[in-house]
Amino acid sequence: MRGVEVAPAREIAQGTITTVINDEKVYFDIKYKSKSFASVSIRVGLIGNKLSSQLLHDRVAENLAKN
């Protein structure tokens, strides 16, 4: 699962990543909450695909657990 057309945007306490995965636009919204906590929201597609979003959340959690 690799994204194409990746467009990251950074601000002081938040960032967004927009990409295309499997011909669907995917939006990652990351917000800094505290030193060891950040909020990540993921939307897949125009309306949102809950199953795909949950799969991506699980993949992000796995990668964070490794670090």
DSSP assignment string, 1-67: ---EEEEEEE-SSEEEEEEEETTEEEEEEEEEEETTEEEEEEEETTTT-HHHHHHHHHHHHHHHHH-
Q: Would you place residue 1 in the very low, low, confident or very high pLDDT band (cuts 50, 70, 90)?
A: low
Output the pTM of the full model.
Answer: 0.77
pLDDT of 54 reads 94
- Give pLDDT tens digits for 4-62: 777 777 767 889 999 998 889 999 999 988 877 889 999 999 888 999 999 999 998 89
Going from N- to C-terminal start, the domains of the chain cover 4-66
